[in-house]
Amino acid sequence: MKARVTVTLKTGILDPQGKAIEGALKSLGVDAVASVRQGKVFDIELAGADKAKAEAVLKEAADKLLANTVIENYRVEIV
Amino acid sequence: MKAAILVFPGINRDRDMARALKLISGHEPAMVWHAETSLPAGTDLVVVPGGFSYGDYLRCGAIAARAPVMDAVRDYAAKGGLVLGVCNGFQILCESGLLPGVLMRNARLKFICHDVHLRVERSDTPFTRGYNAGQVIRVPVAHGEGNYEADEETIKRLEGEGRVLYRYCSADGVVDEAHNINGAAQSIAGIVNDKGNVLGMMPHPENHVEDIMGCTDGRGLFAGLVQHLEKAA
């Protein structure tokens, strides 16, 4: 089973990297960009086919390591 | 003082720290590999040194914080043992839950590598007793992620409980945005946990301990720890 965990910064957390990317896009003439927030994507392969169990495992992975929940949110998807 | 320095892959300030501790305490510290599950018997200071553990992969300090030795450090800290984390060590302590908050990318995105001034906020702690309250010291920083942030509640608690021990400032001790090198909340350079036995700081006191380094302002931190432990013994 394939899954994806997306980690993003919580609203209100300053994102200097996103700001720099936003500035670079604007300087490239991609003017319609209003703002950029950057994050991380983890593509994960899981053994087994139980969807509910897989979601629990991914949640555990995100809470224990993939995200720092002080500043980040995460979303788990089975793809 | 029996110090133990944790060594993770990618750490590079471990030997600077060992040299400083040997110089000031007179005792050779133990180097403890990250895969160990216990600390040497009789350890009275654990140091988490600076560097780039695991290449700063995922988040600075995130992977080191989950290493086997950190369970031993958590037990040690819970029993009141002294823990000092410098630079990457501060990041590791935050990621491990031993200290609140997080170290974010520097506000101006640049890696900062130069001397800074720090104001010592109080002198009645094991980590600051070698200084006077309000004293300004000069030590180097070398980091890309030193911008301390925490939720409003946590910052309020840190300030209310006097747990900010070191703050970025000017040469004459003025704390303002111009001298807040990395954009940290409240110009925070170093904080302690609620029990006051775990300190995390971004600057490197171990790199200002000998005349050849051009400054010895960092000695006070280690000398204070030695004094504290001698008095306790």
pLDDT digits (tens, 9 = 90+) for B134-191: 999 999 999 999 999 999 999 999 999 999 999 999 999 999 999 999 999 999 999 9
- Is 90 exceeded by the pLDDT of residue A48? no
What are B47's strand-pairing partners? B5, B84
- Is 80 exceeded by the pLDDT of residue B233? no
Q: pTM of the predicted model, to two decimals?
A: 0.94
- Res B190: pLDDT: 98
- Whether B106 contacts chain A with CB within 8 A: yes
Active site residue B60: no
Domain, as residue range, for A24? 2-78
CATH of the domain at A26: 3.30.1280.10
Active site residue B87: yes
Domain count, chain A: 1
CA pair distance A55, A73, nearest whole angstrom: 16
pLDDT in tens, B190-207: 999 999 999 999 999 999
- Res A63: pLDDT: 96
Classified as helix, coil or strand, B63 is: coil
CA pair distance B120, B128, nearest whole angstrom: 7
Interchain proximity A65–B106, CB inside 8 Å? no
- Res B108: pLDDT: 86
Active site residue B204: yes
- Whether A64 contacts chain B with CB within 8 A: yes
CA pair distance B147, B145, nearest whole angstrom: 6
Domains and CATH numbers, chain B: 3-232 (3.40.50.880)
